[in-house]
Amino acid sequence: MPLESLTIGLIPADGIGREVIPAARHALEALGSDIPKPEFIDLLAGFEYFTRTGTALPEETVQILRQDCDCALFGSVSSPSRKVVGYSSPIVALRKELDLYANIRPVFSVAPNPGEQPNVDLVVVRENTECLYVKDENLSEGPHGKEARATRLITERASRRIGQTAFELALNRPRKHLTIIHKSNVLSITDGLFRETVRGVPGLPDSNGKYDHVAVMEQLVDSAVYRLFREPQVFDVMVAPNLYGDILSDAAAALVGSLGLIPSVNQGDDFVMGEPVHGSAPDIAGKGIANPLATIRSAALMLRQLGYDTGANRLDKAVNQVIREGQILTPDLGGTSKTQEVIDEVLKKI
């Protein structure tokens, strides 16, 4: 039965998150009857909230997302590069709390004319709950001074789930091509398990041969970065453990002009949360020049995962028109426009 309303949790968090999340809200409201009537719940999280309260992710935020929201949008978080006692990234925690095990990051260029093929069109599928992001670190004294160690976790279950997600994406794309990213020539146990498990997905009992037409390639992560810049057209869907996927998708953003264009969704079996790939950008926060397009694209991705393709397509088309025309762009794309001017232009296109 169709939903009468769509309840969306909004978590601006830190920095420019507070400037770009409203852009997505306005864009969603502009879609009218193409989606159920959107209702929004403003929620708290982030480093700045931690500095005031000692908590980065309030339990209330998690509970409201679980009990009251159909989906969510997350802005950005200012995780410090130094150790801060008691602090842990709220976005990492949210992914684990809600079991949002897949981070899907499309990277594509906008062709000069509608209907033309983009020069870059790939998707990074990043495992979202494991690898070094389990944050199991310790510092000790050794014979040569301080020694820092981090535990890296790769499990068969998580690798299988992300592998199935990647194969499904590849199956539904025109090229039907999947590249497994790893470093198992060095990390033969952890990356070896990831590689073998993902490769084994087509042979699972419930696959029933449906992935037979998906071509599978492997690439070591260091050479994948090299090829990404030299010949991005060889990649279609890339699936990677958490850290590699994070690095690869940020690097790929350079191919299309800005992190301010790259959307993502964190998805699990029961929930989806849109999130622009860019960070909190403290150097420009509050100046009114943050690029809102990645967040609007993230809202479109979120809608598509929920089955509202018409609304998602309208958002994507509007963003692409703004980029293609090139008149109203923020400074990261070589323009001089303010955030609100870009938002207004997108709303006109919608």
Residue 140: CB atoms within 10 A of its CB come to: 8
Among candidate residues 49, 183, 236, 316, the one labeled active-site is: 183
* Rounded Cα–Cα distance for residues 15 and 284 (Å): 8
Query: Percent of the chain, pLDDT > 70?
Result: 99
Mark whether 222 is an active-site residue.
yes
Considering 14, 70, 121, 133, which one is annotated as catalytic? 133
pTM: 0.93
Among 250, 338, 344, 349, the active-site one is 250
Q: Give the tens place of pLDDT for each residue, 207-261.
A: 889 999 999 999 999 999 999 999 999 999 999 999 999 999 999 999 998 889 9
Catalytic residue (choose from 210, 222, 226, 348): 222
CA–CA separation, 146 and 12 (whole Å):
38
191 is a catalytic site residue: no
Classify burial at 27, counting beta carbons within 10 Å of its beta carbon; exposed 0-12, middle 13-18, buried 19 or more.
buried
pLDDT in tens, 101-138: 999 999 999 988 887 878 899 999 999 999 998 888 89
**List 70, 121, 191, 246, catalytic entry:** 246
In 44-130, where do the E strands start and end?
71-76, 102-108, 121-127
Q: What's the pLDDT score for residue 136?
A: 87
Instruction: Give start and end residues of each alpha helix (H) in the chain.
Output: 17-29, 47-53, 59-68, 90-97, 156-171, 190-199, 221-230, 242-253, 293-305, 309-325, 339-349
pLDDT band at 187 (very low <50, low <70, confident <90, very high): very high
**CA separation, residue 12 to residues 86, 231, 256 (Å):** 21, 36, 25
Coil, strand, or helix at residue 329?
Answer: coil
Residue ranges of domains in the chain, CATH in brackets = 1-97+269-350 (3.40.718.10), 121-255 (3.40.718.10)
On the question of pLDDT at 1 being above 60, the answer is no
Q: How far is Cα 185 from Cα 95, in angstroms, rounded to an integer?
A: 29
Can you tell me which residue has the tokens 């979202």?
128
**Which pLDDT score is estimated for 2?**
58
Alpha helices in 30-150 (DSSP H): 47-53, 59-68, 90-97
For the question of residue 133 being annotated catalytic, the response is yes
Look at the block and give the residue holding tokens 């989806």.
Answer: 272
Own/partner pairs, 210-214, CB within 8 angstroms, 24+ separation: 210/171, 211/167, 211/170, 211/171, 213/171, 213/176, 214/167, 214/170, 214/171, 214/176, 214/177, 214/178
So what's the pLDDT on residue 330?
97
Helix intervals (H) in 176-292: 190-199, 221-230, 242-253
pLDDT at 133: 86
What backbone phi and psi angles, to 5 degrees, belong to 121? -155, 90
Token pair recorded at residue 249: 């998708």
Mean per-residue pLDDT for 303-329? 96
What integer best gives the mean pLDDT of the chain? 94
- Each residue of 255-295: pLDDT tens digit? 998 889 999 999 999 999 999 999 999 999 999 999 999 99
Read off the pLDDT of residues 85-102 as tens digits, 9 standing for 90 and up.
889 899 999 999 999 999
User: Does residue 269 have an active-site annotation?
Assistant: no
User: Nearest-CA neighbor of 191 among 136, 243, 247?
Assistant: 243
Which residue, among 300, 305, 337, has the nearest Cα to 319 in the 3D structure? 300
pLDDT digits (tens, 9 = 90+) for 52-69: 999 999 999 999 999 999
